[in-house]
Structure 1
């Protein structure tokens, strides 16, 4: 049985697809685009400055490993990798996390619309975690507020986590 993993106050154990010494990667409840995942330190702290040097190093090495797999699996041409460090930067859950968002040509009306999607100041993340529903569309709409984007179901997130876990294991073994 896997140990319990938290993203801020939320238990996210079954959504986790990769673990390192100090970090974990998980699928996103409300992805901005298909393949949008997050990497977090194991220790729940709200700001990067509160992490130890070992935790920072491990976090970004994990971001690098996960990014490579996400880009390949989702056939992305680029990635947005972003950290919202504190509530005034748009951080909606008080736990350091790096967003990894695969990008393709014309995935959004404007390439910078991803930043509109990341502006979560009006989001009610707790309500979102309680309202697990099927995502209505795989195409992101930057003009739809976060609280109106339907969250994915737990089975859907768990299936994506299983697929990504398998792909991470396969690619990491191949790199040895």
Structure 2
């Protein structure tokens, strides 16, 4: 296996850190905060309502598992877990996915400022094609493949056993 599809864009295995039969997790191209990751499904579906019961159950289990590990690893005191279900909700990659952001006191002046920042991180997909300009995200530079692979490698160690063939 060489990778997964996130919408129509290929994601190399080097950027994936958690895999289950129906779901997977990946590092973020333009993270809003350190540890900002995504959890999604193997099958490309645009909306939560399009998931099978099995996919929905595993997605929630994966979300819980990854959230707990990421929060602990990054020493966060809280999490923002966000789903943008459809274009009018801010979804720019038509593949159901949750954002997990480890949070700390004072990381945003106003806690709700995290949501425009998430929109901005969605504004460019992993291949770098500009999708929209909902918020200024020029301050957050895209990460290199090497940086993303290094973070994924570190996060893989939180899950035992790491399996690419799950």
Structure 1 residue corresponding to 2:156, chosen from 131, 147, 165: 165
| Greater Cα offset, 10-19 or 35-44 | 10-19
Aligned to 1:77: 77
User: How many angstroms apart in 2 are the aligned matches of 1:58 and 1:105?
Assistant: 31
What displacement does 1:167 show?
Answer: 1.5
Secondary structure of the corresponding residue to residue 3 of structure 2: coil
Q: 1:129 to 1:160 in 2, by over 3 A?
A: farther
Matched, 1:151 2:150: no
* Equivalent runs, 1:113-132 vs 2, <5 Å: 113-120=113-120, 123-125=123-125, 128=128
What is the TM-score of this pair, normalised by structure 1?
0.82
Equivalent residues, number: 158
3-state SS, counterpart of residue 141 of structure 2 = coil
What's the counterpart of residue 26 of structure 2? 26
Q: Which runs of 5+ in 1 are unaligned?
A: 131-142
| Larger strand fraction of residues | 2
**How big is the shift at 1:129?**
5.8
Structure 2 segments unaligned to the other structure (5+ residues) = none
RMSD: 2.4
Higher helix share: 1
Q: Is the 8 Å Cα contact of residues 31 and 121 (structure 2) preserved in structure 1?
A: no
Change in CA separation of 1:154 and 1:60 when aligned onto 2, cut-off 3 Å: same
Normalising to structure 2: TM-score of the pair? 0.86
Structure 1 residues 109 and 86: CA distance shift in structure 2, 3 A: same
Deviation for aligned residue 1:148: 5.5
**Residues in 2 aligned to 1:17 and 1:152: alpha-carbon distance in whole angstroms:** 16
Partners of 1:29 and 1:123 in 2: how far apart?
A: 11
Q: 1:167 aligns to what SS in structure 2?
A: coil
Give distance in 2, aligned partners of 1:111 and 1:154. Answer: 30
Q: Is the 8 A contact 2:29 2:125 kept in 1?
A: no
**Residue 9 (structure 1) aligns with:** 8
CA drift of 1:123 comes to 2.3
CA distance in 2, matches of 1:168, 1:111: 30
How big is each residue's C-alpha offset from its partner over 1:34-67, in whole Å with a ceiling of 9 and x where there is no partner? 0000000000111111110000000010000000
